[in-house]
Amino acid sequence: ETGVTQTPRHLVMGMTNKKSLKCEQHLGHNAMYWYKQSAKKPLELMFVYSLEERVENNSVPSRFSPECPNSSHLFLHLHTLQPEDSALYLCASSQEWGLDTEAFFGQGTRLTVV
């Protein structure tokens, strides 16, 4: 039990589909993050939310759309993805954004775009 739960664990979608990834944290943290993890590459920060406000936009394609309805939940909406978007998508949370506090990660959603 990591305190950060992601669903689904695995997702296969076609390039014309629309799907959403869900993340929930039970730690009372104020910051939540979406990362993309591709094989043998560094973690790529996609989006950061602090107190439900988006604070980072790292030039992510518009086919990825985040949503943070409250401080415990984070979504990543996907549409018209490309095969190169296949990766492990990790959600994380931390006590605050912009401090030297550790991040707690979910187990990720393994996304395959066909």
Partner 1 sequence: GQNIDQPTEMTATEGAIVQINCTYQTSGFNGLFWYQQHAGEAPTFLSYNVLDGLEEKGRFSSFLSRSKGYSYLLLKELQMKDSASYLCAVLDSNYQLIWGAGTKLIIKP
Q: Which of 65, 53, 37 is nearest to 96 (CA)?
A: 53
CB nearer to partner 1: pick between 84 and 102? 102
* # residues near partner 1 by CB under 8 A: 20
Cα dihedral 75/77/82/85 (nearest 10): -10
Footprint on residues 16-75 left by partner 1 (CB under 8 A)? 40-43, 45, 56
Binding segment for partner 1 (CB under 8 A), chosen from 22-30, 60-68, 69-77, 101-109, is 101-109
Identify the residue among 20, 71, 95, 107 touching partner 1 (CB under 8 A): 107
Mention every residue, 6+ apart, whose C-beta is less than 8 A from residue 83. Answer: 15, 113, 114
CB nearer to partner 1: pick between 8 and 98? 98
52 contacts 71 by C-beta, under 8 angstroms: yes
As a whole number of Å, the CA-based R_g of the chain is 13
Identify the residue among 32, 68, 90, 113 touching partner 1 (CB under 8 A): 90
Binding site for partner 1 (CB under 8 A): 2, 4, 40-43, 45, 56, 90, 97-100, 102-108
